[in-house]
Amino acid sequence: MSNLIITIGRQFGSGGRQIGRRLAEELGIDFYDRALITAAAKKSGFSEELFEMMDKRATNSLLYSLSMFGGSGVNGMSLTDQLYLTQANLIREFADKGSCVIVGRCADHILREYPNRFDLFISAPIEDRIRRIQSSPDREFEGNKSPQSTLEKMDKQRATYYNYYTGKVWGKADHYDLCINAGRLGIDKSVELILNFVNGLKE
Amino acid sequence: MSNLIITIGRQFGSGGRQIGRRLAEELGIDFYDRALITAAAKKSGFSEELFEMMDKRATNSLLYSLSMFGGSGVNGMSLTDQLYLTQANLIREFADKGSCVIVGRCADHILREYPNRFDLFISAPIEDRIRRIQSSPDREFEGNKSPQSTLEKMDKQRATYYNYYTGKVWGKADHYDLCINAGRLGIDKSVELILNFVNGLKE
């Protein structure tokens, strides 16, 4: 059996990253998200600051940053495209190395040819998401924005990035094997349910 | 505790109706789908043939049928709108009467104020869906169309109807509590997983 690959797309503040980490722990497999970026930065020679900056850009339009960085790279590729390709190569290396959970970064699309893959999408009610981002110690928010507009902006950014690089629609149920509103069960029971699904997969 | 209401949206041929029927059996609650139309037809005085015809219309555009039927009804409402409202009233009556499973008909939106509600969306891989519609005895298909184009047309019709009457996007993961690719687990295990979710709901 090939490596088990669990990819997770998630609304901002939904608890998707936390669920991913818990799944990896329960299954005893690797977990990748922000660590992925750092690894990519080191490996590719991009400056880590550039990745961080692009990642945190709360712009409404990826196209803006695409044009901003467009044409300034080597091989006629924009820096954004180079970054995407670098991350895609790393994601494939991780998936080849062993079973793992990968959060975000279009991993479902990048690994679409990997047969033993399980694609998750996590959502949550807006109140839960606001509570989560407000209590999160490692998040930075724009002080003059409401939590709701921050969430909307981040989701829009994720959707634009995903749609641009995959040609699919972020958060459309039929792209995924399982989509959960984590607010209905809470994190623990959501993790349990996902494990039941993964363990029940048809052979 | 108020009545448990399970609503199911589903891709055509995904097995969503079968899953709904099984859930209702397992939970010992009522099940509504095509029966709903018949009941609506009898109650409202619409001819049953009209409902059947509109239901089976494999048109690419609901707007076409809206304009076709537009203005010909009473109270300035199109027949299509009257049909929708009649069905919406019936759906509320069913939900008030007792716990139930309701397939399709924008029930998730119509019952959005009902607190003890659980919204499901069922998808399946295209090969599974083709196999299901080809082996289904009670389906009529256009002889000159490929199964895949029939599926696409039916899904487009469902999406247009849903989007028009709800102002939301059909099949978007965050509208639902749980979305399952039924092809990964099969019908039996999907039903089991959904029951686990429903039984685990936070009180």
Tracing tokens 């008909």 back to the chain, one arrives at B105
Q: Is A16 exposed, middle or buried (0-12, 13-18, 19+ CB in 10 A)?
A: buried
pLDDT surpasses 50 at B123: yes
Over pLDDT 90: what percentage of chain B? 51
Q: Does pTM surpass 0.90? A: no
Residues of B in contact with A199 (CB under 8 A): none
How many CB pairs below 8 A link A and B?
78
Q: Quick check: A155 and B173 in contact, CB under 8 A?
A: no
Residue among B173, B189, B202 whose CB faces A172 most closely: B173
Return the pLDDT at A143. Answer: 60
- Asked if B201's CB is within 8 angstroms of A121's CB, the reply is no
Return the pLDDT at A140. Answer: 57
**pLDDT tens per residue, range A109-137:** 999 999 999 999 999 999 999 998 888 76
CA dist B63 and B185 (Å) reads 37
Return the pLDDT at B143. Answer: 60
Angle between helices B34-44 and B79-97 (to 10 degrees): 110
CA dist list (Å): B148 to B18, B61, B115, B155, B156: 20, 18, 38, 11, 12
Return the pLDDT at A34. Answer: 72
CB atoms within 10 A of CB A144: 6
Return the pLDDT at B60. Answer: 44
Chain B nearest-CA distance from A159, in A, is: 12
Over pLDDT 90: what percentage of chain A? 51
Q: Which pair of tokens denotes residue A72? A: 């300034």
- Asked if A176's CB is within 8 angstroms of B171's CB, the reply is no
Nearest residue on chain A to B173, alpha-carbon basis: A173
Return the pLDDT at B27. Answer: 95
- Contacts of the segment A49-58: beta carbons below 8 A, 24+ positions apart: A50/A79, A50/A83, A51/A83, A54/A80, A54/A83, A56/A140, A57/A157, A58/A142, A58/A150, A58/A153, A58/A154, A58/A157
Return the pLDDT at B53. Answer: 65
Chain A nearest-CA distance from B136, in A, is: 22
Q: Which pair of tokens denotes residue B15? A: 């097995």
CA dist B99 and A112 (Å) reads 40
- Asked if A202's CB is within 8 angstroms of B186's CB, the reply is yes
Q: Quick check: A35 and A91 in contact, CB under 8 A?
A: no
Chain B nearest-CA distance from A93, in A, is: 25
CA dist A5 and A83 (Å) reads 22
Return the pLDDT at B71. Answer: 47
Return the pLDDT at B58. Answer: 41
Return the pLDDT at A9. Answer: 95
pLDDT surpasses 90 at B183: yes
Supply the mean pLDDT for chain A: 83
Residue among A11, A118, A181 whose CB faces B176 most closely: A181
Residues of chain A with pLDDT under 70: 37-38, 40-42, 44, 47-48, 50-76, 137-144, 202-203
Q: Which of B179, B187, B195, B196 to mutate to test the interface with A (most CBs of A within 10 A)?
A: B179
Residue among B11, B189, B197 whose CB faces A200 most closely: B189
**pLDDT tens per residue, range B25-52:** 999 999 998 777 667 666 777 766 766 6
Residues of B in contact with A177 (CB under 8 A): 180-181, 184
Nearest residue on chain B to A155, alpha-carbon basis: B174
| Alpha helices, DSSP H, located in chain B | 16-27, 34-44, 48-56, 62-69, 79-97, 107-110, 126-135, 147-166, 182-200
Supply the mean pLDDT for chain B: 83
- Asked if B197's CB is within 8 angstroms of A185's CB, the reply is yes
CA dist B202 and A90 (Å) reads 39
pLDDT surpasses 60 at B182: yes
- Asked if B202's CB is within 8 angstroms of A184's CB, the reply is yes
Nearest residue on chain B to A171, alpha-carbon basis: B173
Indicate the DSSP class of residue A23.
H
CB atoms within 10 A of CB A154: 18
Indicate the DSSP class of residue A43.
H
